[in-house]
Structures are given as structure tokens and as C-alpha cells.
Amino acid sequence: MYALQYMAAALYLAAGVGAVLGLSLPAPKVLRGARFGLAIGAAVQLGAFATLHRLDPAPSLTDLGYAISAMAWLAVGVTLFLMTRIHLPGFVPPVAFVAFLATFGATLGRPEAAVRDVGATIPHAHVLLASAGLAALGLAGLAGFFFLLEHRTLKRRRKVSRKVPMPSLEALDRVNRVTLAVGFPLLSLGVVTGGLWLHARRGSYFEGSLHETWMLIAWLIYVGLVCLRFVGRQGARQAAASAVAGFAFLLFAMLGAGLVS
């Protein structure tokens, strides 16, 4: 299993390096190869997840390292799907490098034993749904970052470098809209299943811990962002800035607050 994890991490790293070279040279064939390597890495990582039960102790996806690894894998999958619809060459390097760090990091340390007191269904559903939501909203934040970067370049009346092709503002706004529309319901389901998991273990849906409180605040922030985006007809630039800020808060709420609590 660890061999597959290492292989996936190596493929992600190679894809990231190849994408940087393909964008900077420029070399379209190298960039296409990087995308192919990203897809192969995702397939190998899926095989690694399928062999988790062979470890002793068998880890659970509720283990933080594996949860982050699953989030990265889902982000890669969503990115590859979006790239079949939208030209997004600049997305490959950051997604590949994050996937490399997450996949390699999951192999460090001793994994926690699988949770058995409430069965595997609720905790694993919580982790998968929350990770999928975080992955999609992370891509929304990445699209927002690129949107702000390119918008600033165009506002200063500088020509966008042809050596580093960037998606159009319309494409980035579309990614922002789609990933927000997909990520928020998944995050909401993750919050709901998290409450069910807590209730199954301790008889309460909410205990007011630091992690739970910050996650609730982050979810409420995204309620506001979704309303502004799809009901209030928020402008593309404002939506991009909101996506970046919202994901930064969500990332701390899900990971940072959980580590210090």
C-alpha cells in the first residue's frame, strides 16, 4: 500500500514539475504529458486507497493524514474533469504539488486504527463529503486567485505573457461558479454527517468545541457567499476575492482549528 502511495506522490511531483516546464518554455507536449501524469497518479492513489485494509492496524479515512490525502485526490479528479471542459493549464502545477505533499504526508507517522464504535459508514461518509466539499471550494479559491491576478495584470494594461498561458477571465469565473455550486452542498452534507457522527459517539449533535464552532462559522460564511453569488448577482471580481477569503477561513476552520483544539 505504501509503495502505491509513494508511486502516486512521485507521479504528482513529476506532473507538477513537468507542468511548470511546459508552461514556462512553452512546450505543449510536455504540458499534455504532465496532465497525463496527474491522471495516472490519481489512478495509482485510488489503488492505494483500495488496499488500506491490508495495513496493521488498518487506518481509517478519519485519520487526518488520510483525510487530507483523500481531499487532494478528489481535487485532482475535479481538476481533470474541469480540464476536459475548460482550458485551465495553470491549474496543473498547484494542484499537482498539493497532491504530492498530501499523498507523501499520509505515509509519515503511524496511522490511527479504524473507528469501530459507530461503524465505518457515518465517519467515512463525513470525511469523504467534507473532503470533496473542501476540494471543490479549494478549486474555487484557486480560480479566484488566478482571476484576481489576471484582472490586475489587465487593469494595468500589461499584456499577459504568452509564455505562461492563462485561462480567460470568463473561464476562471465559470470554474468559480461551478465549483462553488458543487462544493457548498457537499460541505453542507459533511457538516450534517459530522453532527450525526458526534451524536452516535457522544449523544450530542454539537458540543461547542473550537473545531465545531469554527466549522459552523465557516459554513455560515459560505451560506452568505452562495447567496451573494447566485441570488445577489455578485460581480465576478468580488466573487473571486470572496472565494479566496472564504477558502482561507474554511481551511483554518477544518484543519487549523482541529489541530489546536
CA atoms of 8 and 41, how far apart (whole Å): 5
Q: Write the DSSP assignment of 107-128 as a string of letters.
A: TSSPPPBPP-SS-SHHHHHHHH
pLDDT given at position 117: 47
The C-alpha cell at 41 is 497518479
Q: What gap in Å lies between CA 240 and CA 139, rounded to an integer? A: 11
What tens digit of pLDDT does each residue of 29-66 get? 999 999 999 999 999 999 988 887 666 665 666 777 88
pLDDT tens, 13-23? 999 999 999 88
Can you tell me the distance from the alpha carbon of 261 to that of 259, in angstroms, rounded to the nearest whole number? 6
Model confidence pLDDT, tens digit, residues 112-156? 544 444 456 788 888 889 999 999 999 999 999 999 988 888 777
Sorting pLDDT into bands at 50, 70 and 90, what band is 233?
Answer: confident
- Which residue type does 235 have? G
